[in-house]
Structure 1
């Protein structure tokens, strides 16, 4: 095991305060029991379309139980993340998932009664009755979902099997965390390093190439011990989602995923077409030349004849420069200064949030460390951030990224009712990438001089990673889902072949290991994909990044005001995704925003070689 401190060894200011949600697990259990009893009240709305007032009351009941569900599942998720293998926490999380499925079933029953009388609902809307003020966008979304809402018996079966559908996700997580035995490699000084999911990324930034090679090889080989279990779990996950798509009257998992509930779940849905998804991936592939140029400049600066997978993350700053450290306090000061272009209210709210113990800052013993950071939230309780901050530039930007998500939720909470405090997937990464871009610009101008070359490289990494890395993953996972939906098993060899072909296109300057071009070796990194995430999640990083680059450029030129950007943040929960992008002046299906990213990467390449 990696030698992390325990939670008790950290100062409280570096751990989150879950009493903001519930004082104790016993309080959570009481709230769960109360929500279970409240579900019966949804059945009281037998005639929800009798009048505008009856409809408004039914909608308020839906909103109330979904918000309560969100708070309960958030606590169970966060508490489990502190110690994922603890049985009591796992049991609480499982109970929360079962309760969430029951809530969803009861909500759909009431929604179905509303959808059955769509004509009355539209008539009430047209009349403009005051009782429905604030519900119009919600009703539009609800009626649009009518073709995918099933009869009561079918919904009951779907609800019963919802936890089963997610079982394979838990299996994949267990393979990559609880069942993963971190290999040990020798560091430059001869000391051993345990390579887990967190230290792997850190090891790939080691200036000693032999350490990077050993870490990469050992990590991939350790994952290979679970190849067949991982491939089988992935196959079952895809098939489960394919079955759900069929039940919900979707043609494919992709169509289902592109219309998934927004997050947090308040009843609103994402709206992104398959044609738009295709256009995003096509645009990424059409602009690969800039990414290839960036990789080639990395090869030249490292002075290596061939670029390998273990060379892709190491900073290519000055030869004699050690990677600088950055403390949590220093990062907070820089981030507060960086967001000043977004206005005093935004900056002050961020400062308040940093003081509210909503962030679990450092990796600790038994904590979930397979991800660098993420930001789950609830419409009423707000956001929390799980981070694994290592006081370096890379994880500083991860934390800034998640705080962008947190501020998005806070902006909506301050201006919208809970039903509209959600983020549709296509635009969900815009606020987080705006944070990263503003922080990069600030540190290059105002940060310590030794930070500047590392910040430049980090900026290149998150632009390239979120557009081309995520584009590669989105392309690969699309092929994975298409393959499995066709009835073909996802064997380790087949997954390797799929990934190898796509990696050869996206990472053309990266050379496979010497003398071995077998797909099983070239495609070995298939094991590292984020299979625990929802299907088709990757494209959001592409759309979010290209939109953020354009938005920051327009903010800096004055074409987009800070207030207009804040209005975008406040209203994403009640707008269709395309409308939200329009508010930023960006079309993510067109070539122009991808050309801007390519131009930014070309500038980095020129600076490297200049």
Structure 2
């Protein structure tokens, strides 16, 4: 029987090194208590933020010291809880850290409203008197920009204090899907029992045996049907929370509030959806080509992930994937490549799936720690690409942390998804140009097409779904599981017109955790589009373009996303960069069609 191991069965060398943050849980407890004692130190400055330049600098430095430590204890607890979501002790630690973080945000909530009492000229006078404040210039600009949506001190404190409550729907969904749900076991074509998990579902949907794919599809989504009311309620509450918080800050819509945070224009969202909608014929062509490759009359939902490449999918052991990824990033420069390789040797990555482990993959870390990457590595091409993706995030953080002060070390997701996808794109070029194994080359080509399908098109479909469900609440409509199904099925039918859309796939919204992140998913689509343009430039112009890109990564959060991507050669105000990605997708379909036909 193929089973998922317990965490204790995983070798330490394949686990991330959380002891580099705290040597023990006892040390974490000590740090937590210390932070709790220091939170009240901020109150001394309440009402005095603009008293003098010296006072403002003292406060900003005190706030930094506190919030940096809060980030460290929160990250440690969150990563520990991700290792095994069934572990009640670490779940409790994570909850305590979240509560402490909410207390710290609440205690510091007076800073922005009091700063907004000044105008730009007055802040410039402060900087002239205390030159160190010049480091905060972009921060000041961002604070003043948000003035129309910043409430009174009392309201800001309340909103900050409620943050762990307003995030409750996401927490409930995460615990339900990762810790409580146990999916059935199915028998594969070799007669082996295979336990379906969130981590291996997509891989099982790639199995060459169509009957097996169908069984996995049906069993998996039937199991979700058992919790549709609970998941539907969680998502409804999450959307409602987004809408109410936006209204509390004087925004007309939740989307406006979400995009205003990173200062991304609404037009960027609409341009993405409109441009992709206008070019669905590319996706339909992909679906028709897949039906031809699979030799089926009707493409079904359990066929969408199946490979168009002939032969058994190649096994890519983790060590081999590491070698490929390290070699692939060579165009980004020797220093970048060496830093990435050193990180992999320093246990940045928690490699394999274990029972209770959080599904999916992510990169995390703080200004004062190394990066940490959660994987559920499955020894396949897709997992290799996921590794490249998360390493892009981690290297982005490394370069930004090195170049920027703390207040600019964090960066917006709009930019982050470019860094991850640049690494994916470089990996594709490297493998297609250097690997002699024809089977692997065909599967890499297929994976590249799947990345376009699942990132550019599928995430845009998600973005449209997210917009529609928020608009439903904003227009006083009711969100029920049936309504979610209807909206999702309508979109699925439009995007996958040549395929047969069944009733089960209408529940797919239930398994997408990103819907709880508040207008997050569209950035995957803009990210792959910008990354395609950047890699094209690096491949044609060489080191000059690579240097521009590295500088964009080093900018961290010291500028707005559009300005950062402009440094890398991408104009986000024009649909051209999306059209470039669509053109590349079309050209790759041409190449695959030649192989198939």
- With the length of structure 1 as denominator, give the TM-score of the two structures: 0.93
CA contact (8 A) 1:49 1:120 kept: no
2:505 aligned with 1:540, yes or no? no
- With the length of structure 2 as denominator, give the TM-score of the two structures: 0.95
Counterpart of 1:447 (choices 409, 420, 435) is 435
Distance in 2, matches of 1:66 and 1:144, equals: 22
Aligned twin of 1:267 = none
2:368 aligned with 1:380, yes or no? yes
Per the alignment, do residues 305 and 125 of structure 1 end up closer, same or farther by CA in structure 2, a change over 3 Å counting? farther
| Structural mapping, 1:26-425, within 5 Å | 26-45=26-45, 46-118=47-119, 121-124=122-125, 127=128, 129-260=130-261, 270-318=262-310, 321-368=311-358, 370-371=359-360, 373-425=361-413
CA contact (8 A) 1:301 1:608 kept: no
How big is the shift at 1:128? 7.2
CA contact (8 A) 1:2 1:196 kept: no
3-state SS in 2 of match to 1:108 = coil
CA contact (8 A) 2:235 2:516 kept: no
C-alpha RMSD of matched pairs (Å): 1.9
Distance in 1, matches of 2:93 and 2:139, equals: 31
Distance in 2, matches of 1:538 and 1:509, equals: 24
Unaligned runs of 5+ residues in structure 2 are none
How big is the shift at 1:106? 1.5
Per the alignment, do residues 33 and 126 of structure 1 end up closer, same or farther by CA in structure 2, a change over 3 Å counting? closer
**Over residues 555-604 of structure 1, what are the superposed CA-to-partner deviations in whole Å (9 max), with x where a residue is unaligned?**
01107521111101001311111111211222334232222222222222
CA contact (8 A) 1:420 1:574 kept: yes
Aligned twin of 1:263 = none
**Over residues 78-126 of structure 1, what are the superposed CA-to-partner deviations in whole Å (9 max), with x where a residue is unaligned?**
0000111211111111111111111111121123222223356423267
Distance in 2, matches of 1:438 and 1:128, equals: 48
Aligned twin of 1:529 = 512
**Over residues 245-299 of structure 1, what are the superposed CA-to-partner deviations in whole Å (9 max), with x where a residue is unaligned?**
1222222211221134xxxxxxxxx111222211121112122221211111111
Distance in 1, matches of 2:113 and 2:90, equals: 34
CA contact (8 A) 2:53 2:127 kept: no
Aligned twin of 2:537 = 554
CA contact (8 A) 2:221 2:505 kept: no
3-state SS in 1 of match to 2:336 = helix
How big is the shift at 1:522? 5.8
Distance in 2, matches of 1:607 and 1:249, equals: 50
Aligned twin of 1:599 = 583
How big is the shift at 1:186? 2.4
CA contact (8 A) 1:470 1:539 kept: yes
Counterpart of 1:492 (choices 475, 481, 487) is 481
How big is the shift at 1:476? 0.7
**Over residues 345-373 of structure 1, what are the superposed CA-to-partner deviations in whole Å (9 max), with x where a residue is unaligned?**
101111111111111011112222x21x1
Aligned twin of 1:458 = 447
3-state SS in 1 of match to 2:206 = coil
Distance in 1, matches of 2:252 and 2:349, equals: 40
Distance in 2, matches of 1:180 and 1:11, equals: 26
2:48 aligned with 1:18, yes or no? no
Counterpart of 1:568 (choices 552, 568, 577) is 552
Per the alignment, do residues 69 and 126 of structure 1 end up closer, same or farther by CA in structure 2, a change over 3 Å counting? closer
How big is the shift at 1:381? 1.3
How big is the shift at 1:386? 0.4
| Structural mapping, 1:469-508, within 5 Å | 469-508=458-497
Aligned residues: 591
2:572 aligned with 1:588, yes or no? yes
How big is the shift at 1:36? 1.7
3-state SS in 2 of match to 1:178 = helix
* Stretch of structure 1 that moved more, 234-243 or 75-84: 234-243
How big is the shift at 1:448? 4.8
CA contact (8 A) 2:538 2:545 kept: yes
How big is the shift at 1:410? 0.3
Unaligned runs of 5+ residues in structure 1 are 261-269, 514-519
Per the alignment, do residues 173 and 570 of structure 1 end up closer, same or farther by CA in structure 2, a change over 3 Å counting? same
CA contact (8 A) 2:178 2:356 kept: no
CA contact (8 A) 1:188 1:208 kept: yes
CA contact (8 A) 2:242 2:254 kept: yes
CA contact (8 A) 1:16 1:384 kept: yes
**Over residues 485-536 of structure 1, what are the superposed CA-to-partner deviations in whole Å (9 max), with x where a residue is unaligned?**
32322111111110111111111111124xxxxxx55623232322564111
Per the alignment, do residues 593 and 123 of structure 1 end up closer, same or farther by CA in structure 2, a change over 3 Å counting? closer
**Over residues 107-166 of structure 1, what are the superposed CA-to-partner deviations in whole Å (9 max), with x where a residue is unaligned?**
211232222233564232673742213111111112222233322322333233222211
CA contact (8 A) 1:382 1:409 kept: no
* Stretch of structure 1 that moved more, 329-338 or 118-127: 118-127
Distance in 2, matches of 1:505 and 1:582, equals: 33
Distance in 1, matches of 2:505 and 2:279, equals: 23
How big is the shift at 1:227? 0.8
CA contact (8 A) 2:7 2:84 kept: no
How big is the shift at 1:52? 2.5
Distance in 2, matches of 1:249 and 1:68, equals: 32
CA contact (8 A) 2:105 2:161 kept: no
